[in-house]
Amino acid sequence: MLVVMKPNATEAQVDAVVERIRSLGFFPHAIPGAQRTAIGVTGNKGGLDPALFESLPGVREAIRVSQPFKLVSREVKEEDTVLDVGGVEIGGKRLVVMAGPCSVESKEQVLEAARAVKAAGATMLRGGAYKPRTSPYEFQGMAEDGLKLLALAREETGLKVITEAMDVETLPMVADYADMVQIGARNMQNFSLLKQLGKLAKPILLKRGPSATIREWLMAAEYVVAHGNGRVALCERGIRTFETATRNTLDLNAVPVLKSLTHLPVIVDPSHGIGLRAHVPAMARAAVAAGADGLIIEVHPCPEKALSDGQQSLTPEEFSGLMAQVRVIAGAVGRPV
Amino acid sequence: MFVAMKPHATQAEFDAVIDKVRALGLTPHPISGIERRVVAVVGNTGAVDPDDFAMLPGVAEALRVSQPFKLVSREVKEEDTVIDVGGVKVGGRAIVVMAGPCSVESQDQILETARAVKKAGASFLRGGAWKPRTSPYEFQGLREEGLKLLALARQETGLKVITEVMSTDTLPMVAEYADVLQVGARNMQNYSLLERLGAVKKPVMLKRGLSGTIREWLMAAEYIVANGNPHVMLCERGIRTFETATRNTLDINAIPVVKSLSHLPVIVDPSHGIGIRKHVAAIARAGVAAGADGIMVEVHPKPEKALSDGHKSLSIPEFEELMRQVRVIALAIERPVM
């Protein structure tokens, strides 16, 4: 349920609503908004009687939220959520571009990639230090050494760092180094991890599971928000279908559908979404045209020598070509890069 | 296998290649490109040595085609195929827009829609007279009466008509009225129909089957071309996935992939691809940005009263707004809208 206050409600009246929610054994969640003050109620089983809250002074109305996801839904918060990642805004008018190698491999590699993507116009550096690889025999990432290299690249270039956290155990360390913590597709429903993310003071990029419906994905985001961290962005990265010509099927339908269901920013990963280097720019253009708030793209100084995902990584030259194409589309839909 | 002629090869040299193909018990398919003439060799070419052709006079090269689809592949024909539909070119620089109701329902409905989509900038009128409905109890289409109404709308507006053909027995009649024959998703692998379409002198738009892989889809197109009709365009209309929030999952990946594998034009159908009226424009923009040669959109003067697919049909003002948005994207990638 969502309790909406009158525009002129006093702080004491808001506190009284919070108190009423707690006294009923439920959880209050302040929903920030420019237009109105509202308090989300979670923890109730079954519908609540609006009269429980509408009888309190300063309350305009109490609304049942029809979706199973509450705090992330547009019913509860109409305005777009804009995340501030150290000065880089995600979900605002400006399109955000995150780029870098699949894995951090060496100091030279990550610095070279960082300089190149910065020069081409990216504002965030991606790179995995902990890698969820399908095979246990493949390169698993440089762990903390990789995080240190990302921090070094940030220091030199000013790019914000986004990197993946794979488990509860290493989360505090990853969060120490990262500006934004990425949760990979395979961990989308790692509920223990999601709960911990709720206690983190860092923004989260939650990738869609390979076989997750939009509803399951939003429920996963709800876990993070319900546990206290409202700074979540979603990342569409392709789903599993019968098609084998591409690595995944990038579900761009999800972009307008999400933007209508939730106020959270939506990022698209065309690199994983199609998995074929030659076609990454076309899908990046399509994502921006569909209304995505940003892109995350794999770039490697020498894709053919990459320790992971070389077949979908762009060279720095290809990436600057992609940026030129994306700028044109972004300009057409009224979003500067 | 395909045999590419040198740019200045003579007709006699070309004929000699054709004769040699026939002598080997194989079928030659001559393809004339802007740059060069090619003979595609279809049949069991396993025992044929490409060098036997490469040494003939006037031959530039003879190569095996690595893909299972031959005539529709870019290996055989590098240049984009441009289909001229009575002056409207599909697959060229301009993006074509096909719009109209799911089903033809009445004279008033089809004429009102045709005038409106023409005014908004469409060059094709779509509308089903034979409808492949999931339920046998639902509206099955006006049949020949519907075709006559489409012809009337064409006469009044000058729009080209694209309409679906569902079976071989009605094909001759539909082909008489239509400018482009549409093969629906459920018929993508109706091989009897595909073979017959090879003998028709009208362009064909082949929709992707609900669970057709890109390879299966291109093989289906190959059926039509191998049977004699090279005027085929493909239409991505969404595939079946586990996602239930949308009617289908529009596979936009397929656009750049098909454009690289095949020389045939690719149209995208955002109406079926997402199935939710308010999101059709966003996904139409995405299709054009990804490189589609055209879009096909369902438009109805009164979507809430439509006999089929009202929930995903745009009203006329919504279609006008979609056209504005699509023009902006098309302009950005330097493709005019036709």
**Three-class SS string for B281-319?**
HHHHHHHHHCCCCEEEEEECCCHHHCCCCHHHCECHHHH
- The domain made up of A83-332 has a fold known as TIM Barrel (3.20.20)
The token pair that represents B287 in the structure block? 């299709």
- Tell me: do B171 and B223 sit in the same domain: yes
User: How close does chain B come to A7, measured CA to CA in Å?
Assistant: 31
- Tell me: do B59 and B117 sit in the same domain: no
Chain A: which residues have CB within 8 Å of chain B?
211, 213-215, 238-239, 241-246, 249-257, 260, 273-274, 276, 278-279, 282-283, 285-291, 328-329, 331-333
pLDDT tens-digit series, residues B60-100:
989 888 888 989 999 889 999 999 999 999 999 999 999 99
The token pair that represents B337 in the structure block? 């809208």
Does the residue B214 lie in any domain? yes
pTM listed for this prediction: 0.92
- Tell me: do B19 and B101 sit in the same domain: no
From chain B, pick out residues whose CB is under 8 angstroms from the CB of A279: 253, 256-257, 260
Task: Write the CB contacts of A27 (distance below 8 Å, at least 6 apart in sequence).
Answer: A21, A41, A42, A43, A226
Report CB contact under 8 Å: A285, B276: no
Report CB contact under 8 Å: A253, B246: yes
Bridge partner list, B73: B262
Q: What is the pLDDT of residue A37?
A: 86
CB atoms within 10 A of CB A65: 16
User: Whole domain around residue B31: which residue ranges?
Assistant: 2-63
Q: Is the pLDDT of residue B13 over 70?
A: yes
Give chain B's mean pLDDT: 94
If pLDDT is split at 50, 70 and 90, which confidence band does B288 have?
very high
Closest Cα in chain A to B243? A213
Domain with CATH 3.20.20.70 in chain A: 83-332
Per cent of chain B over pLDDT 70 is 99
- Number of domains chain B contains: 2
Rounded average pLDDT over B198-219: 97
Rounded average pLDDT over A89-117: 97
Does the residue B68 lie in any domain? no
Question: CA B165, CA A269: separation in Å to the nearest integer?
Answer: 39
- Tell me: do B46 and B100 sit in the same domain: no
Q: Which residue has the higher pLDDT, B333 or A66?
A: B333
Helix B214-226 and helix B254-261, axial crossing angle in degrees, nearest 10: 40
Minimal Cβ distance to B249: which of A211, A249, A332: A249
CB atoms within 10 A of CB B317: 10
- Tell me: do B52 and B95 sit in the same domain: no
User: How close does chain B come to A239, measured CA to CA in Å?
Assistant: 9
Report CB contact under 8 Å: B290, A285: yes
Tally DSSP H helices, then E strands, for chain B.
11, 14
Does the residue B94 lie in any domain? yes
Q: Is the pLDDT of residue B34 over 70?
A: no
Helix (H, G, I), strand (E, B) or coil at A239: strand
Minimal Cβ distance to B213: which of A243, A276, A288: A243
DSSP assigned state of A103: B
Query: Between A and B, how many residue pairs show a Cβ–Cβ distance under 8 A?
Result: 133
Q: What is the pLDDT of residue A309?
A: 87
- Tell me: do B155 and B297 sit in the same domain: yes
User: How close does chain A come to B242, measured CA to CA in Å?
Assistant: 7
From chain B, pick out residues whose CB is under 8 angstroms from the CB of A278: 256, 260
Give chain A's mean pLDDT: 95
Does the residue B159 lie in any domain? yes
Minimal Cβ distance to B239: which of A213, A241, A260: A241
Rounded average pLDDT over A59-84: 93
Q: What is the pLDDT of residue B31?
A: 81
Does the residue B18 lie in any domain? yes
- Tell me: do B57 and B90 sit in the same domain: no
Per cent of chain B over pLDDT 90 is 80
- Tell me: do B108 and B204 sit in the same domain: yes
Of B234, B72, B247, B98, nearest to A251 by C-alpha is B247
Report CB contact under 8 Å: A286, B278: no
DSSP assigned state of A279: G
From chain A, pick out residues whose CB is under 8 angstroms from the CB of B238: 253
From chain B, pick out residues whose CB is under 8 angstroms from the CB of A329: 289, 329, 332-333
If pLDDT is split at 50, 70 and 90, which confidence band does A112 have?
very high
Q: Is the pLDDT of residue A190 over 80?
A: yes
Report CB contact under 8 Å: B333, A329: yes
Strand pairing report for B2-5 and B37-42:
antiparallel
Q: How many Cα atoms within 13 Å fall on the side-chain side of residue A206?
A: 31
Strand pairing report for A232-236 and A266-268:
parallel
- Tell me: do B133 and B253 sit in the same domain: yes
Does the residue B31 lie in any domain? yes
Q: Which of A252, A257, A259 to mutate to test the interface with B (most CBs of B within 10 A)?
A: A252
DSSP assigned state of A85: E
Q: Is the pLDDT of residue B35 over 80?
A: no
Q: Which of A217, A243, A266, A272 to mutate to test the interface with B (most CBs of B within 10 A)?
A: A243
Q: Which of B188, B210, B240, B252 to mutate to test the interface with A (most CBs of A within 10 A)?
A: B252
Minimal Cβ distance to B241: which of A246, A249, A329: A249
Closest Cα in chain B to A259? B279
Q: Are B107 and B99 in contact (CB under 8 A)?
A: no
Q: Is the pLDDT of residue A36 over 80?
A: no
pLDDT tens-digit series, residues A254-276:
999 999 999 999 999 999 999 99
Report CB contact under 8 Å: B274, A249: no
Minimal Cβ distance to A329: which of B244, B257, B332: B332
Helix A280-290 and helix B280-289, axial crossing angle in degrees, nearest 10: 150
- Tell me: do B40 and B89 sit in the same domain: no
Question: CA A164, CA A154: separation in Å to the nearest integer?
Answer: 16
Report CB contact under 8 Å: A239, B211: no
Instruction: Give buried/exposed letters for A216-243 (b at 16+ CB in 10 A, else e).
Output: bbbbbbbbbbbeebbbbbbbbbbbebeb
Of B11, B81, B3, nearest to B267 by C-alpha is B81
pLDDT tens-digit series, residues B157-193:
999 999 999 999 999 999 999 999 999 999 999 999 9
Minimal Cβ distance to B283: which of A211, A253, A283: A253
User: How close does chain B come to A274, measured CA to CA in Å?
Assistant: 6
Considering the domain A2-63 in this protein, what is its CATH number?
3.30.70.1140
Report CB contact under 8 Å: A328, B253: no
Minimal Cβ distance to A282: which of B285, B290, B328: B290
Q: Are A164 and A186 in contact (CB under 8 A)?
A: no
N-terminal to C-terminal alpha carbon distance within chain A:
37
Report CB contact under 8 Å: A273, B253: yes
Closest Cα in chain B to A272? B253
From chain B, pick out residues whose CB is under 8 angstroms from the CB of A256: 274, 278-279, 282-283
Instruction: Give the CATH number for residue B30.
Output: 3.30.70.1140
Of A84, A77, A50, A59, nearest to A6 by C-alpha is A59
Q: Is the pLDDT of residue B36 over 80?
A: no
Report CB contact under 8 Å: A274, B287: no
Q: Is the pLDDT of residue A35 over 80?
A: no
- Tell me: do B233 and B296 sit in the same domain: yes
Instruction: Give the CATH number for residue B107.
Output: 3.20.20.70
Domain with CATH 3.30.70.1140 in chain A: 2-63
- Tell me: do B269 and B173 sit in the same domain: yes
Residue A190 carries which side chain, given as an amino acid letter? Answer: N
